[in-house]
């Protein structure tokens, strides 16, 4: 009704701060970001359809069956939309007095190569903050020291519904481009992106889990520039 107010924006940092956690465990007002993303991608009536389906299903199952057609696969796209602020409120709508989100947790930033990182299991004292099932995601940024071709290998722990994307930010402005990393049966794969440092100012690895199993699941990644 009062679209220019967007009061939920004040709470979005709390929502983004838990990006590694399952989507349906982040019960804060900032979760309206997900509702807006649903509406923009599946139509303005999707909320009513989910509401009706939730009479005989859990909320999660109502979303999966009604909006996503019985699969959690679209959560891979939502993981990218969190990073890119990919809804109209932040990309095409007019300016607002509410500042842009600042709390999306970048797991690591790399600007020297080669890179080889293993994200190990959590301990009793230190959480590894790796992705959980149902949309948990991490964000790892790579910036160039010069120009070249960037190769990103990824290897997730076996037995989980991993998806991995590389989001390339144009050097001269414009919308980012998302590349999918093809993973094999062991959740391993790699991607090569040309123009790193000439066409692209930054590339961000986005690993996420779209299935229902997994708690802070371990993985490894690397990077080389040639």
pLDDT value of position 27 = 86
Residues written for the chain = 226
The residue behind tokens 């967007």 is 6
Q: Is the same domain home to 137 and 174? A: yes
Give the range of the structural domain holding residue 78, as residue numbers without chain letter. Answer: 7-91
Same domain, 58 and 146: no
Number of folded domains that form the chain = 2
Whether residues 215 and 117 fall in one domain: yes
Q: What is the mean pLDDT of residues 163-168?
A: 98
Q: Is residue 61 part of a domain?
A: yes
113 and 148: one domain? yes
Output the CA angle 193-206-128, nearest 5 degrees: 130
- Say yes or no: 86 and 114 in one domain: no
Contact yes or no for 135/217 (Cβ under 8 A): no
Residue 84 sits in the same domain as residue 118 = no
- Domain contains 215: yes
| Mean pLDDT confidence for 162-173 | 96
Angstrom distance (rounded) from CA 188 to CA 144 = 24
Q: Report pLDDT digits (tens) over 77-119.
A: 999 999 999 999 888 887 776 777 887 889 999 999 999 999 9
Kindly report the pTM of this predicted structure: 0.94
Q: Is the pLDDT of residue 3 over 80?
A: no
Q: Are 150 and 193 contacting, i.e. CB atoms less than 8 angstroms apart?
A: yes
- Choice between 4 and 88, residue whose per-residue pLDDT is larger: 88
Half-sphere exposure in the Cβ direction for 58 (13 Å, CA): 4
Same domain flag for 75 and 120? no
């Amino acid at each position: 009704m009062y679209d220019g107010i967007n009061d939920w924006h004040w709470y979005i940092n709390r929502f983004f701060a838990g990006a590694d956690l399952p989507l349906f465990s982040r019960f804060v007002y900032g979760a309206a970001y997900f509702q807006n993303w649903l509406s923009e991608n599946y139509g303005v009536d999707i909320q009513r359809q989910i509401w009706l389906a939730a009479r005989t299903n859990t909320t999660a199952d109502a979303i999966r069956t009604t909006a996503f057609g019985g699969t959690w696969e679209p959560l891979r796209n939502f993981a990218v939309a969190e990073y890119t602020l990919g809804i109209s409120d932040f990309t095409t709508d007019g300016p607002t007095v509410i500042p842009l989100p600042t709390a999306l947790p970048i797991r690591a930033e790399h600007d020297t190569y080669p890179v080889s990182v293993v994200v190990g299991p959590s301990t009793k004292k230190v959480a590894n903050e790796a992705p959980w099932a149902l949309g948990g995601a991490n964000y790892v940024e790579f910036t160039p020291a010069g120009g070249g071709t960037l190769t990103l290998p990824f290897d997730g722990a076996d037995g989980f519904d991993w998806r991995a994307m590389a989001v390339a930010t144009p050097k001269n402005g414009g919308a980012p481009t998302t590349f999918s990393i093809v993973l094999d049966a062991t959740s391993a794969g790699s991607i090569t992106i040309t123009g790193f440092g000439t066409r692209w100012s930054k590339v961000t690895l986005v690993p996420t889990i779209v299935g229902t199993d997994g708690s802070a699941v371990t993985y490894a990644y690397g990077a080389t520039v040639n």
